Each structure stands twice: as structure tokens, then as C-alpha cells.
Structure 1
Amino acid sequence: MNWLLVAVGGMIGAPLRYLTDRAVQTRHDSRFPWGTFTVNVVGCLVLGVITGAVTAGAASSHTQLFLGTGLCGALTTYSTFSYETLRLAESGARFSAVANAIGSVAAGLGAAFVGMAAAEALWQ
């Protein structure tokens, strides 16, 4: 049963990542990977909320498997983030590469913290 929750969550998260990435990226006329940045930060926020909800007893471990492991696992993408950062650096956009690396990590950690804090405020 657990594997099915993860699989179904992933089946939702993967196309959601693609569609969100395309929608965000088409609105920006730059080489900076705003679409990947967006899905990764949103995924960190959602995972923070889910983890906080599970910790507070407001959500089940099945919810965590479905939304956290499945949906967020497929929604977010470390490999694409790494590739796009490398591509920026190789093309001479070194400032953008460094900004992407530092900004993505900082924003992701911040989003996860905000998500957990919000869950804690809601359910404790």
C-alpha cells in the first residue's frame, strides 16, 4: 500500500513540475531557471507543512508518503537544479550560477522552516 501512495503522488507531482516550470519560465525572458527555482521552493514549503502536520499528529504517515515522498519528490528536482546551475556557469553567467545555487538553497531552507512553523502554529 505504501508504494502505491508514493507512486500516485509521483504521478501527480511530475506533470505538475513540468507544467509549473513551463508556465513560470515562459513569463521570464532570461536564462535564469525561474521555473525550477519555483517548483523547488514550493516543494520545500509543502514538505515543511506536511512534516509539521505529521509531527503535530494532524496528518498521518500515509499523507506524508503520498504528499511528501510522492508528490514533493516528483515536484522538486535536485538534478535539474544542478544541471541548470552548471549550464549557467559554463555559458559564462557565473553570477547567475552562484545566485541560483545560493538562492535555491537559502530559499528552500527558508520555505521548509516557514512551512513547519505554520504547521506548528496551526496544529499545536
Structure 2
Amino acid sequence: MSVGIVGLGLVAMGGALGGMSRLAMSELAGRWLGRAFPWGTLAVNVLGCLAIGALAPALDWPMTTSPAWLVLAVGGLGGFTTVSSFSLQTLSLWQEGRHGLAVTNVLVTLLAGLAAAALGWWLVGGGA
């Protein structure tokens, strides 16, 4: 798949907006819910799963390289969601001896993410 220079620009623009949104959401969640658990990362990852679940059928995934897909899904949600922060925060919980919270973070992120993606898909009429 070749997206060209315009496509790369769209991904970069979406990524910048997604990254700034992730920071804002993480900070807000930390203020509201505390920082003993990575609530912000959990929130952005689950919301990102919901959004990509809705975008995929709406934008004809996986057959698309449309500008909307590039800016919203690849760039925007790629910058908004974060596996690296999730992994580091889970490792940190484990190393601090909070094994139950580390396992909870993995299970809740995975199960809630899958459920959110399925819900997003269903909400836009993507079928089963």
C-alpha cells in the first residue's frame, strides 16, 4: 500500500491531535480518579477501541486508504491509544508488588477493548 506524501501528512496531523488528546484525557482521569492505577491509559485505549470499531465498517476497512481513514484511524487513534504506556504502567505495577492490579489492568484493558470495538462496530451497523 502506498499512501504518498499527502497521506503521510494526514497521518502526522491525526497523530499530533491524537497524542495531545491522549495527554489531556490521561491528565483529566488522573485528577478525577487518582494515580494509583493507570485510569487515563485505560480510558484512552477503551475509547480508541470503541472509535476504531465504529470507523472500520463506516470507512470500509480493510480495503481503504482514504484520507478519512488515514487521519482518523491511523494517525488520530494511533496517537490517541497507547500500548507502550499500558505495558510500562503494567510492568511498574508488577515491580511494585501490586500483582493483582497489574493483572487487572491487562484483563480489563483487553476485555473492555474488545467489547468496545465490537460495540462501535455494532453501533454503525457493521454486523456481527
Q: Select the structure that is richer in helix.
A: 1
TM-score greater than 0.5 by the shorter chain: yes
The answer to whether the Cα contact below 8 Å between 1:54 and 1:60 also exists between their aligned partners in 2 is no
Secondary structure of 1:55 counterpart: coil
Question: Which residue in the other structure is 1:120 paired with?
Answer: 125
- Mapped partners of 2:69, 2:55: distance in 1: 6
1:101 to 94, 98, 106: 106
Report how many aligned residue pairs link the two structures: 120
Structure 2 unmatched ranges of 5 or more: 1-5
Measured after TM superposition, the shift of residue 27 of structure 1 is 1.0
- Mapped partners of 2:17, 2:74: distance in 1: 12
TM-score (norm 1): 0.90
- Mapped partners of 2:11, 2:35: distance in 1: 34
Measured after TM superposition, the shift of residue 29 of structure 1 is 2.9
TM-score (norm 2): 0.88
Structure 1 unmatched ranges of 5 or more: none
- Mapped partners of 1:88, 1:31: distance in 2: 9
Question: Which residue in the other structure is 2:45 paired with?
Answer: 40
Question: Which residue in the other structure is 1:90 paired with?
Answer: 95
Question: Which residue in the other structure is 2:66 paired with?
Answer: 61
